[in-house]
Structure 1
Amino acid sequence: MGRPLRADAARNRRLIIDAARELYAEEGIDVTLDDVARRAGVGVGTVYRRFANKEELIDGVFQQNFADMAAASEASLANPDPWDALVTFAEFACSRMSVNRGLKDVLNGTDDGCEQIASQRSIVEPAVEEIFRRAQDAGMLRADAVATDFFGLIFMVGALTEFVQPVNPTVWRRYLSVMLDGLRAEGKHRDPLPLPPLSPDELHEAKQLLKSRKR
């Protein structure tokens, strides 16, 4: 076990983690360690003393998110309703991504250099496979769906959320429902879509904001 950090070193580590968490949530994980240092109010050398590289910092920031994801996947396996288990876990993952742009990046990226994230992902991915198997065995999920479809689905919802977040931050729930309906077995009941769709004005505003971000 390593020696405890000095009080000033521990304080700097907290500042760096908090700054990175804010920046990653706002802008995604493409921000640099220089950006993190500026937000934290420390020198970039201090960042490198606490974290050897960007991957180590990402691991430190997102390990709790993945631990929560692993716990939610295991809770879904305990749900006696196989379809509700799938829906509940999808809603959990998408709700977390809806307020954290960086989480979408990490969920759909690799775990190179991120040991804690890799450890938690090793729990999540088999759980999703079992969630899908249970729903198929119950006749609720189409037979040709596979667990990797789940990660494709939440990536699409994450991309949509990033597009509409400034104008309608909760409408992603409507489009998640549309996508989940596409996974239902033939002839199964479909619930009414939650929430109204984007209005023409909201769609226009979202397009304008996207255009301005690309300049």
Structure 2
Amino acid sequence: MTAREPKERRLRKDAERNRARVLEAARDLFASEGLEPNLNDVARHARVGVGTVYRRFPTKDELLEAIFVDALDQLTALAQTGLTYDDSWEGFAWFVEQMCELTATDRGLREIAFSKAYGGDRVIAAQDRLGPVVAELVARAQHDGHLRPEISATDMPIISLIGGTVSQFAGHVDSSLWRRFTAILLDGMRCGGSQSVLPVDALDDQGLDAAMRTWEPASH
């Protein structure tokens, strides 16, 4: 073993620690501030030099992918878990609660989950994996007569955004307030005896895609 080999290992370990530090700082910053912060902001939050961030993540989109692809896949995994419930309403309601909790407590995840203005192909692919599983949850609960027939899978992102907006507005006063409005929304979605027909149709798939492509909650 040469003297150079231990030095190279130390450099690799230092690089790995710095990368982990940048990712942890970015997750924390994006969770609280949304996607507005830039790479310079991330460097300050991580207390590392700007060059350290740019060497590992030359663009903001690359950093977003490193953070959020797994988080989006977590949403898909939660939807798949909802499908394992024997009672389709319980599975649907459980997923909605889990989805709203994640997006109400992580502003960055909320913004990247429902906007196609950020990230690259890996983020879009992760978003596309989520849609069909959520659609199956909705169809299953409707087939069993639990979920109002007017409800569409395209309503789910907007429902999640409502919970997130509650947290953004009043989370500093009551961090669990989103649960109240999630319960109200679920109660309104469940089939009842004398419910009025909803006055406006849900977005279709093309409409949701257009909304996601044009919604930029932060400057890009």
Q: Could you tell me which of 68, 81, 96 is aligned with 2:102?
A: 96
**CA distance in 2: counterparts of 1:7 and 1:101, whole angstroms:** 31
**1:72 and 2:74 are equivalent in the alignment:** no
**CA distance in 2: counterparts of 1:82 and 1:48, whole angstroms:** 47
> How many residues get paired?
185
**CA distance in 2: counterparts of 1:177 and 1:81, whole angstroms:** 18
**CA distance in 1: counterparts of 2:149 and 2:185, whole angstroms:** 16
Q: Which residue of 1 aligns with 2:181?
A: 175
Larger RCO, structure (CA 8 Å, separation 6 or more): 2
**CA distance in 1: counterparts of 2:85 and 2:117, whole angstroms:** 29
Q: Which residue of 1 aligns with 2:26?
A: 20
Q: What is the letter of the counterpart of residue 36 of structure 1? A: V
Q: Which residue of 2 aligns with 1:59?
A: 65
**1:117 and 2:123 are equivalent in the alignment:** yes
**TM-score, L = length of structure 1:** 0.80
Q: Which residue of 2 aligns with 1:31?
A: 37
Per the TM alignment, residue 170 of structure 1 is displaced from its structure 2 partner at its CA by 0.8
Q: What is the letter of the counterpart of residue 132 of structure 2? A: P
Indicate how the Cα distance of structure 1 residues 106 and 66 shifts in structure 2: closer, same or farther if over 3 A, else same.
same
**CA distance in 1: counterparts of 2:69 and 2:95, whole angstroms:** 18
Q: Residue deviations 1:88-118, cap 9 Å, x none?
A: 0111111112321111111121165434433
Q: Residue deviations 1:183-207, cap 9 Å, x none?
A: 122329xxxxxxxxxxxxxxxxxxx
Q: Residue deviations 1:152-177, cap 9 Å, x none?
A: 11111111111111111112111111
**1:131 and 2:137 are equivalent in the alignment:** yes
**CA distance in 1: counterparts of 2:88 and 2:96, whole angstroms:** 13
Identity rate, percent: 37
Indicate how the Cα distance of structure 1 residues 82 and 111 shifts in structure 2: closer, same or farther if over 3 A, else same.
farther
**CA distance in 2: counterparts of 1:162 and 1:109, whole angstroms:** 17
Q: Which residue of 1 aligns with 2:3?
A: none
Assess if the C-alpha contact under 8 Å between 1:26 and 1:102 holds in 2. Answer: yes
Assess if the C-alpha contact under 8 Å between 2:104 and 2:165 holds in 1. Answer: no
**CA distance in 1: counterparts of 2:77 and 2:98, whole angstroms:** 11
**1:150 and 2:156 are equivalent in the alignment:** yes
**1:187 and 2:197 are equivalent in the alignment:** no
**CA distance in 1: counterparts of 2:37 and 2:119, whole angstroms:** 17
Indicate how the Cα distance of structure 1 residues 111 and 10 shifts in structure 2: closer, same or farther if over 3 A, else same.
farther
Indicate how the Cα distance of structure 1 residues 18 and 163 shifts in structure 2: closer, same or farther if over 3 A, else same.
same
Per the TM alignment, residue 26 of structure 1 is displaced from its structure 2 partner at its CA by 1.3
Q: Cα RMSD over matched residues?
A: 1.9
Q: Which residue of 1 aligns with 2:114?
A: 108
Assess if the C-alpha contact under 8 Å between 1:77 and 1:131 holds in 2. Answer: yes
Assess if the C-alpha contact under 8 Å between 1:98 and 1:169 holds in 2. Answer: no
Gaps of 5+ in 1: 189-215
**CA distance in 1: counterparts of 2:172 and 2:137, whole angstroms:** 33
**CA distance in 1: counterparts of 2:154 and 2:133, whole angstroms:** 12
